[in-house]
Chains A and B, each alone.
Chain A
Amino acid sequence: MNVIVDYQAGNLANLKNALDHLGLESQIATDASAVKAASHILMPGVGAFYPAMESLRQSGMMEAILEQIAAGIPFLGICVGLQLLFAEGQENGSHPGLGLIEGSVVRFKHQLKIPQMGWNQVAFCREDPLLKNIPDHSYFYFVHSYHGVPSKPEITLGTTDYGLSFTSVLQTGNIWGVQFHPEKSQTVGLELLKNFCSF
């Protein structure tokens, strides 16, 4: 079962709608037992880093997610769901994240408008099954003020330019993360979700 993690960090209906549209069954998880039943875990999220992390912890789902990832279950973090994978988030002070990816989540430090809101291109760094049938430099829909900076550059799967070139897709082992919203990125976004759920 594809499981969408609901930790009170934004609306999950649109991710579920996208999976429904693809004919993929999914279930929204609000507790650890539902996470433990997952074959694939999708973790969306909007909002601030610390409250998201807190609610993940308090719901008891954090440990279940870590266990599942350790057991090899494919995991896809979306937007804040990607950012939480990092060791540290710097939104409103320094806060620890899940620590599955070395590095920090930092705010854009340029003069462009923040948040980055709209469609931007992703340049692929290497081949990966997540990006199957998706043309390089496709546009995806972004809404964010912070971005993750992995310590190991080799985990970057795609980059996007917004005042600087930042990591917009990453992969390490059975963990994938995308800074954009595939559920709002039309054809290419749906393709990405389909790819993930077929792992």
Chain B
Amino acid sequence: MLAKRIIPCLDIKNGRVVKGTSFVSLRDAGDPLELAKLYNEQSADELVFLDIAATQENRGTTIELASRLARELFIPFTIGGGISSVEQIRALVTAGADKVSINSSAIHSPNLITEGANRFGSQCIVVAMDVKRSGSHWKVFTHGGTRETDLDAFQWALEVEKRGAGEILLTSMDADGQKTGYDLIITSQISKALNIPVIASGGGGELVHFKDALEEGAADAVLAASVFHYGKYTISEVKEYLHLHQIPVRLTR
């Protein structure tokens, strides 16, 4: 049976790991490769690296990081942050990234999803969506959650799938950093309507949150950051818990 995936997310700035709470107040949490190796030993199923600065100057640093990671990590990893062209996707994939995550640019030029999927395969293109509840709907935000768009999250998810994305990384801005659980409503709405995997993100703080996201939220994978970075739970602890609750996970010993 296909295992549900547990994915630590590392926010990267100038080649170092940082993690903000609700996208502000950054704290330095170390060297990406060291942290990645630690998570690999804890049986992380994949890793996501988000370049939160993503300026022209540090793009080279991110490509170098991808190539360093690819030489030492033998699990899949995704790189995201500021990716706006097929050429940038190519550079990261050539450096060894298995997938790239695109966010704001997918909204401004949805053709990037189509072109990326045609060139590198759907499996390579993750579309990240930052969403926020507004009444009975969820709106999509761009630029690290600072700009509101007119897009309805559910409709945008359908469009993203149609354009050939291989996966959706769905972050609830309401839940992010709150440690009160994932947004189960929008996660399950999108995951059940789509035929591509959905990664739930934002709000993980307790073991039960992971279980809820996978069961009630119908997510295929769960992403978390600070809960792992600050050692509240190890990935193995989360997986043992899920295993105990009959959720298929990859346990390694």
Contact = CB atoms under 8 A, between A and B. Distances in A.
Nearest to A18: B74
Interface in A135-160: 139, 141-143
13 contacts: A17-B70, A21-B71, A46-B123, A114-B196, A115-B123, A115-B166, A118-B4, A118-B197, A119-B2, A119-B5, A120-B2, A139-B3, A184-B76
A118 B2 CA distance: 7
Interface SS of B by simple majority: loop
Contacts of A139: 3, 250, 252
Interface of B: 1-5, 40, 45, 70-72, 74-76, 93-96, 98, 120-123, 166-167, 194-197, 220-221, 250, 252
A189 B70 contact: no
B152 to A, nearest CB: 22
Contacts, number: 85
A186 B75 contact: yes
Given A115-B123, A119-B45, A139-B250, A184 B2 contact: no
Kindly name the residue among A14, A112, A183, A187 whose own CB sees the greatest number of chain B CB atoms within 10 A.
Answer: A14
Interface in A46-71: 46-47
B211 to A, nearest CB: 17
Contacts of B121: 10, 46-47
* Size category, A interface: 20 to 34
Contacts of B45: 118-119
Contacts of A162: 1-2
A116 interface: yes
B213 to A, nearest CB: 15
A46 B123 CA distance: 9
Nearest to B44: A186
B2 A17 contact: no
Given A17-B70, A184-B75, A113 B96 contact: no
A185 interface: yes
Contacts of B95: 13
Contact of A185 (B71, B74, B167): B74
A17 B96 contact: yes
B197 A184 contact: no
Nearest to B96: A13
B220 A186 contact: no
